[in-house]
Chain A
């Protein structure tokens, strides 16, 4: 006999539904993971900081299109002041961010690392190369960028590969370096590694200049006076422009200008400002892999979307930071900082856009597989000319004299 549904049963069912309905069924997937992003979007590093922000926003768009985990990005500006890294991190954590990305500048990153360590919130470093970041025993940081020492070691390898495969070998080199934390770390690494790698080129002088230098005529005159056949500038964008402009004026034509691990001369600001004089300049930096079809599509789409902007190092590593974070949030299945931290620790991304091996983090939180490419500006476009497995053109060496262009 079929059981009849009584009025009392219906009432009981309605009451039960009301109670169940009142209790929110919260799923981590439905909720946005709040990711804080710390960048220098104003101040002296505002240009790369804003480029990095564009990379984050572009990656967020791509993540959405690919139905990646629900993530909300909240930005904080350090104003290019190292001490503001901590303030920004604390503010973002108070706003409910369960993981952070940042902080581009080494000083701000170290300062932010202290705050995330206290709050036990993971920080994924998109850019920031000082070795001490991963050497201070922080447990919450992960760096998907090369340390300056590994970057310089790879750069010296690229330079060594380059000069030993050419018909003419430069005998001497001069270093022009920006005299800040980055420049001094890079110079110290270059000194140590140059000797160790037994590069058959003598460094005859090292000329430092202030990070806010407006004019590098004297520095270039000093470099020219050494007669060095190789110029190794450790620069950012504006100083690299000033160096080349002075070299043109002072008729200094070395065999090559190669920036070992220097950010800047691949920027559109550099190639636009110098035109034909910016060509043949070489830079050794981590770069996107031109042989990876996905990286090519991503870079081309970005350059179409952001007219006047290039898919370069800042954009690329910021883009990749979002992909690493999305992967971690997805695997963590939770917005809890500890769960995201645990997931970041077991990251293993084989196919990614920047050149290098799989993205994995060692016990110090460092990705040891970041590759360094040798780029050369050709007709105003940075082109990969080394190493062999990703090269897109043969290097122009020696570079063409400025006067004949």
Chain B
């Protein structure tokens, strides 16, 4: 039975890994903002949906494929994040958590409302030629949009890791994350570092949104699912950990695929939440979570 279904299981695992990498990029945006500023962005899913609409617009207006549109979305969203942080969020950094929650929930509602007004409630699918293509690797049949999306997401994650590890700005971000008061004391412009971090967070959301747009049809109400999924991934991977986001994303992608195949497709989300609860019970800091400040 298992042998005869092996290609099916292998395909599902591969599909889970591919979508998991894109989930990781979504979660990375959330975790990096939290890791540096200790601010939980409850509007993260809405920002992913902004990236999806950007991808949809570039495809429908100029015929750009999501892979080509992705860096443009990332740049637009980076600028938006920078401005949002300097204009709004910096004023709330040292406020109580519940005030921050209200700010981000309000922001989320505004973004969804704007999507409804501008684009309407209907789904906006991207149906390019790649939407119906598969790439065959032996007995594996990989969905082309997932494969290209995952590769692009992986490249972006690698680039981001290199930037954080080897650039001066990356070192400043790590310093501000580690000890913002100490960083300020040695002359680091912490608010500027926060703005760059928010820009990176939104760029990840925007890029991931554009990559995922041909897989999940764009609509305003996807946002809450995206936010929840990002939280599940970062909690499993460990809040603030980049590697944790990658591992958590892939884990969720695979578990959803296998659960749908083995248990019941209607209950595939149950496995993600089951994993989340188990993680909170066994290792609350997540797989790669560090010490708590």
Q: Which residues of A contact B (CB under 8 A)?
A: 42-44, 46-47, 49-50, 179, 207-210, 212-219, 221-222, 225, 237-238, 241-242, 245, 248-251, 269, 273-275, 277, 402
- Residues from 37 to 85 in B contacting A, C-beta threshold 8 Å: none
Chain A's nearest CB lies how many Å from the CB of B11?
7
- Residues from 135 to 179 in B contacting A, C-beta threshold 8 Å: 141, 143
- Residues from 116 to 135 in B contacting A, C-beta threshold 8 Å: 116, 120-123, 125, 127, 131-134
Query: A250's contact among B123, B141, B257, by CB below 8 Å, is which?
Result: B141
Sorted from nearest, which 10 A-B pairs have the closest CB atoms? A46-B121, A218-B260, A214-B216, A179-B266, A273-B125, A208-B266, A47-B122, A248-B132, A238-B123, A219-B265
B227 contacts partner chain A, Cβ-Cβ < 8 Å = no
Chain B's nearest CB lies how many Å from the CB of A49?
8
- Whether A215 pairs with B127 at a CB distance below 8 angstroms is no
- Whether B127 pairs with A209 at a CB distance below 8 angstroms is no
Q: Which residues of B contact A (CB under 8 A)?
A: 5, 8, 11-12, 15, 19, 116, 120-123, 125, 127, 131-134, 141, 143, 215-217, 219, 221-222, 225, 257, 260-261, 264-266, 268-269
Residues of A within 8 A of B141 (CB): 249-250
**Considering only CB atoms, which chain A residue lies closest to B220 in the complex?**
A46
Chain B's nearest CB lies how many Å from the CB of A399?
16
How many residue pairs, one in A and one in B, have C-beta atoms under 8 Å apart?
93
Asked if A269 meets B123 with Cβ closer than 8 Å, knowing A209-B266, A250-B141, the reply is: yes
Asked if A209 meets B123 with Cβ closer than 8 Å, knowing A214-B222, A245-B132, the reply is: no
**Considering only CB atoms, which chain A residue lies closest to B219 in the complex?**
A238
**Considering only CB atoms, which chain A residue lies closest to B142 in the complex?**
A249
- Whether B225 pairs with A218 at a CB distance below 8 angstroms is no
Chain A CB count within 10 A is highest, among B15, B121, B143, B221, for B121
Asked if A207 meets B121 with Cβ closer than 8 Å, knowing A215-B19, A219-B260, A241-B217, the reply is: no
**A207, B268: Cα distance in complex, Å:** 13
Chain A's nearest CB lies how many Å from the CB of B198?
27
Residues of A within 8 A of B260 (CB): 218-219, 222
**A259, B19: Cα distance in complex, Å:** 29
Asked if A221 meets B12 with Cβ closer than 8 Å, knowing A207-B265, A238-B217, the reply is: yes
**Considering only CB atoms, which chain A residue lies closest to B215 in the complex?**
A215
**Considering only CB atoms, which chain B residue lies closest to A277 in the complex?**
B132
- Whether A222 pairs with B127 at a CB distance below 8 angstroms is no
Chain A's nearest CB lies how many Å from the CB of B260?
4
- Whether A210 pairs with B266 at a CB distance below 8 angstroms is yes
**Considering only CB atoms, which chain B residue lies closest to A237 in the complex?**
B123
**A210, B217: Cα distance in complex, Å:** 15
Residues of A within 8 A of B123 (CB): 47, 237-238, 241, 269, 273
**Considering only CB atoms, which chain B residue lies closest to A44 in the complex?**
B221
Residues of B within 8 A of A179 (CB): 266
**A208, B141: Cα distance in complex, Å:** 24
**Considering only CB atoms, which chain B residue lies closest to A403 in the complex?**
B132
Query: B268's contact among A218, A250, A273, A277, by CB below 8 Å, is which?
Result: A218
Majority DSSP secondary structure for residues of A touching B: helix
Residues of A within 8 A of B266 (CB): 179, 208-210
**A250, B133: Cα distance in complex, Å:** 9
Query: A275's contact among B11, B127, B217, B269, by CB below 8 Å, is which?
Result: B127
Residues of B within 8 A of A216 (CB): 265
Residues of A within 8 A of B132 (CB): 245, 248-249, 277, 402
**A212, B217: Cα distance in complex, Å:** 11
- Whether A249 pairs with B121 at a CB distance below 8 angstroms is no
- Whether A225 pairs with B215 at a CB distance below 8 angstroms is no
**Considering only CB atoms, which chain A residue lies closest to B123 in the complex?**
A238
Residues of A within 8 A of B264 (CB): 208
**Considering only CB atoms, which chain B residue lies closest to A51 in the complex?**
B122
**A161, B116: Cα distance in complex, Å:** 43
**A212, B269: Cα distance in complex, Å:** 11
Asked if A47 meets B133 with Cβ closer than 8 Å, knowing A215-B215, A225-B5, the reply is: no
- Whether A218 pairs with B131 at a CB distance below 8 angstroms is no
| CB-defined A-B contacts under 8 Å, sample of 17 | A46-B121, A179-B266, A207-B265, A210-B265, A210-B269, A218-B15, A218-B261, A219-B265, A221-B8, A221-B12, A221-B261, A238-B217, A242-B217, A249-B132, A249-B141, A250-B134, A250-B141
Chain B's nearest CB lies how many Å from the CB of A270?
10
Residues of B within 8 A of A249 (CB): 132-134, 141, 143
**A237, B124: Cα distance in complex, Å:** 12
**Considering only CB atoms, which chain A residue lies closest to B143 in the complex?**
A249
- Whether B134 pairs with A47 at a CB distance below 8 angstroms is no
**Considering only CB atoms, which chain B residue lies closest to A212 in the complex?**
B225
Chain B's nearest CB lies how many Å from the CB of A375?
20
Asked if A218 meets B257 with Cβ closer than 8 Å, knowing A42-B116, A238-B219, A245-B132, the reply is: yes
- Whether A42 pairs with B121 at a CB distance below 8 angstroms is yes
**A274, B11: Cα distance in complex, Å:** 24
- Whether A241 pairs with B222 at a CB distance below 8 angstroms is no
Chain A's nearest CB lies how many Å from the CB of B150?
14
Asked if A273 meets B127 with Cβ closer than 8 Å, knowing A42-B116, A207-B265, A215-B215, the reply is: yes
Residues of B within 8 A of A248 (CB): 132
Residues of B within 8 A of A251 (CB): 134
Chain B's nearest CB lies how many Å from the CB of A11?
63
**A43, B12: Cα distance in complex, Å:** 31
Residues of A within 8 A of B216 (CB): 214-215
Query: A241's contact among B121, B125, B215, by CB below 8 Å, is which?
Result: B125
**Considering only CB atoms, which chain A residue lies closest to B121 in the complex?**
A46
Query: B8's contact among A49, A213, A215, A225, by CB below 8 Å, is which?
Result: A225
